[in-house]
Structure 1
């Protein structure tokens, strides 16, 4: 028996964890930490106060999607560009990210009162504090883009871990130490976490001197930036418009219940995100080398479809148990809708893999398709919101159509690509 144990241990020692596997484990840990953060807030604050917290958390997600444009652009061209071209490119991206970050931050601070009225929050101060931290988030995203493109997954993991852990510890520390259950405390925790998320930061890449990039490179960057910005806008609409619209149309109590439903149902999307982070640089590299990229897409689609199926099944079989364990009895009214919301999110997560795959290859139509259905989902909720159940049903309709069209487009594109290859031969 001891010999067998020793053999197993020796095999485990010889098998080193790859950087990709380390990053995937790190993303799971970060998502777990963020979930814990949200769950504790949900239990401490109750449905009505949690509705305010959910607005801030949704603003954080919206910000992450806007800043993700800079991260993905940086990641892609960190793979393609080398030497002086890479240095000049990074300097330019940091400049643009700083300008956009400052403008977004100023707009949030200036319109804090109006945001309070639109989203029915208890205070405008939480928006002011959040707005101050926005420029830091954009710098953090460019820094992460360099790590992602260069496949420095250890450093990339550290930035995500630093942001998550600092937000969790600082926010909960302030709540428990000073017994302040306020959205202002949550905003302070988010602001400080942006600073920690910058670590490790490569200051050598930051330069505000005039940089030169030839027209061909500048055109490539601009085209990809516009395409990515458009797609991230669709991500914002699909991922966050429902929570903000529910907060606008429904009372705080119902909005808080819906926020808990969304948080549980989106588990599959957050898991899928780690595959997207690995997908983009891998597809760009394979395409650069003239190799087939379809197999990597198949692999990730199968992974996400299986994970989504398991989560939807669990939500259908044990909805009350899951809600009670995660949020408590106060949120049990949402149990019948849990599997339905998870289904909508699961379909979106799978269609998202297709969209990011084509985004990596500079193909526009799947991105435009996502934009159209993002607007469709928002429009359906605006016109059909008699109940929370109806809101969820509208999302299922929009996401089912989106997934069907993305799969159809992929099949057509694959057939056309194979036909071209045969003609060339």
Structure 2
């Protein structure tokens, strides 16, 4: 699974880099803004997937794994309702959203809504496969989606579809991932579950709130910059932001390892050991980030040229502060994971306040690209201090 996850992340990043070279500044800025919108709206699916994994694992432990199809049916009914309404709202407001993000056509928002709909359903099926520990099937599904997005997106852009081709590629990838996951789920869709599965518990609401606030922190700047700046300037900012987020990609495995360890130790009442695990996780995060920050600081123009091409070298001055801001958010992500693993959801008001402060800061600057990264640095530093204070309360 680690290989599959790494491959999928690499394919997604390769897709982003190829789009930057194929679409130019204006087109690339539009694609990044649309994907930022999808990323924020898709947060609830991660919570549903966690619930499905837990419920499926319990069924399998009772020898009732064949009823996983029924569990998926229940989850899909809820997700279809949620993202059906979301899609309807997106279609209704497509003209406004296109105007707000300075997109060339409202149809781009429509295609993004379709990608969100498919991407919103797939995690339920993936959760069943994960709960049943069918890791070969899960790994194949995890890779096929990004591979299809890459292949279809590159092909359509090459045929002259432009930004539409890039977004349709995302629809194709999400649809194939959903279809593949459904294919691998065992039969038994009409079986009856002995116990009802509760998806919207107080804990799941709090978890969704934390994840949505954190995702907003990582994406709101891109959306607001796309609104305020000229398309070409927004494209430069989008590229620098993507370059900065390489640091999050590099450290992404740390929260994934930290989370189950903290849950286990917290359940056993081993608070001191859980805290030591957090300290090690933060140490590994800094060890991974420091060399990348050094390279970014020493040669930002070279990094932008290698990643995105000569047309994006103008974004080099933005890369340094954006990378520093993303390094801060990588630490915030580790601290948030630790708190959630301890069933402490007291980060939510602070994360929400940080997201609001970030948005207000960008609005006050009217998206001025040279200063927006420093808003992120200040917010990340403040949240790091606050979440650290919360974490040391054992």
What's the TM-score once normalised by structure 2's chain length?
Answer: 0.88
Q: CA deviation at 1:130?
A: 2.5
Q: CA deviation at 1:38?
A: 1.3
Instruction: For residue 121 of structure 1, give the secondary structure of its aligned residue in structure 2.
Output: coil
1:227 aligns with 2:206: yes
Residues 312, 149 of structure 1: alpha-carbon distance in 2 compared, 3 angstrom cutoff: farther
Aligned equivalents of 2:304 and 2:325: distance in 1? 18
Aligned equivalents of 2:103 and 2:137: distance in 1? 37
1:184 aligns with 2:164: yes
Q: CA deviation at 1:42?
A: 1.0
What's the TM-score once normalised by structure 1's chain length?
Answer: 0.82
Paired residue for 1:250, among 218, 224, 229? Answer: 229
Instruction: For residue 102 of structure 2, give the secondary structure of its aligned residue in structure 1.
Output: coil
When the two structures are aligned, how many residues end up with a matched partner?
386
Q: CA deviation at 1:299?
A: 3.4
Aligned equivalents of 1:96 and 1:289: distance in 2? 34
Q: Which structure: larger Rg?
A: 1
Query: Higher mean Cα deviation, 382-391 or 313-322?
Result: 382-391
1:124 is matched with which residue? 106
2:347 is matched with which residue? 366
Query: Higher mean Cα deviation, 315-324 or 93-102?
Result: 93-102
Paired residue for 1:239, among 212, 218, 234? Answer: 218
Paired residue for 1:328, among 309, 316, 333? Answer: 309
Residues 175, 330 of structure 1: alpha-carbon distance in 2 compared, 3 angstrom cutoff: same
1:265 is matched with which residue? 244
Q: Deviations over 1:227-250 (max 9, x none)?
A: 122112202320111000001111
Q: Deviations over 1:167-197 (max 9, x none)?
A: 0111111222x2x142211121111101222
1:313 is matched with which residue? 294
Q: CA deviation at 1:388?
A: 0.9
Matched-pair contact (CA < 8 Å) for 2:328–2:381: yes
Q: CA deviation at 1:209?
A: 7.4
Instruction: For residue 389 of structure 1, give the secondary structure of its aligned residue in structure 2.
Output: coil
Residues 361, 152 of structure 1: alpha-carbon distance in 2 compared, 3 angstrom cutoff: farther
Instruction: For residue 251 of structure 2, give the secondary structure of its aligned residue in structure 1.
Output: helix
Aligned equivalents of 1:103 and 1:206: distance in 2? 27
Q: Deviations over 1:226-284 (max 9, x none)?
A: 01221122023201110000011111111000000011000111233333334434443
Aligned equivalents of 2:5 and 2:155: distance in 1? 23
Instruction: For residue 388 of structure 1, give the secondary structure of its aligned residue in structure 2.
Output: coil
Instruction: For residue 385 of structure 2, give the secondary structure of its aligned residue in structure 1.
Output: helix
Q: CA deviation at 1:400?
A: 0.5
Aligned equivalents of 1:353 and 1:250: distance in 2? 32
1:167 aligns with 2:149: yes
Query: Higher mean Cα deviation, 47-56 or 130-139?
Result: 130-139
1:277 aligns with 2:256: yes
Matched-pair contact (CA < 8 Å) for 1:79–1:149: yes
2:177 is matched with which residue? 197
Aligned equivalents of 2:367 and 2:345: distance in 1? 36
2:331 is matched with which residue? 350
Matched-pair contact (CA < 8 Å) for 1:341–1:392: yes
Residues 155, 235 of structure 1: alpha-carbon distance in 2 compared, 3 angstrom cutoff: farther
Q: CA deviation at 1:391?
A: 0.5
1:20 is matched with which residue? none
Query: Higher mean Cα deviation, 79-88 or 185-194?
Result: 79-88
Unaligned runs of 5+ residues in structure 2 are none
Matched-pair contact (CA < 8 Å) for 1:347–1:400: yes
1:27 aligns with 2:5: yes
CA RMSD of aligned residues (A): 2.7
Aligned equivalents of 2:287 and 2:323: distance in 1? 13
1:4 is matched with which residue? none
